[in-house]
Amino acid sequence: MSKAQLTRTGILRMALGGGAADPLLPAEGGGGRRAPFLLRALRIAVVVCLYWFTSIAMVFLNKYLLDSPSLRLDAPLFVTFFQCALTAALCLGLSLGAACGPPCSGLPTLRLDPKVSRSVLPLSAVFIGMVTSNNLCLKHVGVAFYNVGRSLTTVFNVLLSYLLLKQTTSLYALLACGVIIGGFWLGVDQEGAEGTLSWTGIFFGILASLCVSLNAIYTKKVLPVVDGSIWRLTFYNNVNACVLFFPLMMLLGEFRTLYHFDKLGSPSFWGVMTLGGVFGFAIGYVTGLQIKFTSPLTHNVSGTAKACAQTVLAVIYFEETKSFLWWTSNLMVLGGSFAYTWVKGLEMRKAQEDPNVKSSERNETGV
């Protein structure tokens, strides 16, 4: 997941997990008859494939925009700014299309309220750190190592949950985090042994992991400001980000870089930029679809399998040769992530079935 992937995915998953209804997603339950098993299985397979395709394609597109030898564009903040601007525009466009009826009839009307924008600003600062560090990590490391480079999100989730929310974690979940940390350091060691290690990329990968965890916590705090609407939050977040990116791009000299960029007037360049932004916006929607048609636990398992497929595809596409220990590091990260997801799923189920568990504890386990 690059920039937009972690952002829209993380926010939308929190909203869906918290019970917020999404007007673009199919309603759960209903009074009608359930579809036949074969039809439901086919529908789930299509949704999972759509999620995999959107997520993987977005990472490869962003890698091209951020670090392509043929493109030679050294302006990662501009790429991120453009995708945020496109996301805000798509949110506004869908809101305006609400008058046209289904499937957008349930979308809230979007208008820019300066007071709300200021209330969302702390989250927007974390949001900018998240999307920027994700893109900078992808710029400096290969797609094959990208998943390992940002693998400490789960570890930061546990750490920040304890420091900020005073939530404890079970021993089995901590052991899974230990496996992830071991896989991360083994991956760093093997990248160094192969001469492809970028400490800049590692730094931004760790920073991205931290910001993703902080983003989830601040999102939960800020959602009441926008009446619990994930669409309003996405709109305000991206509008604020666009404003904040301008001084950063000026400070880092990216406007000068764009002035001398020889493909600035190329339709193909803007086509790829637009496609990357559309994929970044779409990943939140297809993530929501996958959760609706399966479950949050199944979605996490699917995400782990997708990360494995993405790594294999990157090694094949870029014609890389990796050592046994390098592959072992990836398997440790993926295995630890899967184990953590499984343990938390079991704990959540146990908390929901135990009548003696407080409601607040059930919610904390679910989050």
Indicate if the alpha-carbon torsion angle 115, 116, 117, 119 is positive or negative. positive
Which of 79, 205, 236 has the alpha carbon at shortest distance from 142? 205
Give phi and psi for 207, each to the nearest 5: -65, -40
> What per-residue confidence (pLDDT) applies to 364?
42
> What per-residue confidence (pLDDT) applies to 25?
52
Q: What is the mean pLDDT of the chain?
A: 84
| Cα separations in angstroms, 359 against 73, 115, 197, 343 | 51, 33, 46, 20
Which segments of the chain have a pLDDT < 50? 1-21, 27-32, 358-367
Query: How many whole angstroms separate alpha carbon 100 and alpha carbon 31?
Result: 26
> What per-residue confidence (pLDDT) applies to 106?
59
- Residues in the chain, overall count: 367
Query: How many whole angstroms separate alpha carbon 189 and alpha carbon 166?
Result: 33
Name every residue whose Cβ is closer than 8 Å to that of residue 273 and which is 6 or more positions away in sequence: 65, 79, 82, 83
> What per-residue confidence (pLDDT) applies to 12?
43
The reported pTM is 0.83
Query: How many whole angstroms separate alpha carbon 216 and alpha carbon 80?
Result: 20
Question: Do 133 and 66 meet the contact criterion of CB atoms below 8 Å apart?
Answer: no
Tens-place pLDDT, residues 72-113: 999 999 999 999 999 999 988 888 776 566 555 556 678 888
Name every residue whose Cβ is closer than 8 Å to that of residue 64 and which is 6 or more positions away in sequence: 71, 272
Tens-place pLDDT, residues 301-341: 888 889 999 999 999 999 999 999 999 999 999 999 999 98
Name every residue whose Cβ is closer than 8 Å to that of residue 295 and which is 6 or more positions away in sequence: none
> What per-residue confidence (pLDDT) applies to 366?
37
> What per-residue confidence (pLDDT) applies to 33?
56
Name every residue whose Cβ is closer than 8 Å to that of residue 85 and which is 6 or more positions away in sequence: 238, 242, 277
> What per-residue confidence (pLDDT) applies to 54?
93
Q: How many CA atoms lie within 13 A of 235 on its CB side?
A: 23
> What per-residue confidence (pLDDT) applies to 28?
46
Indicate if the alpha-carbon torsion angle 110, 244, 223, 355 is positive or negative. positive
> What per-residue confidence (pLDDT) applies to 201?
95
Cβ-in-10-Å burial (0-12, 13-18, 19+) of 149 comes to: buried
CA geometry: angle 293, 298, 300, nearest 5 deg: 120
Neighbours of 264 (CB within 10 A): 11
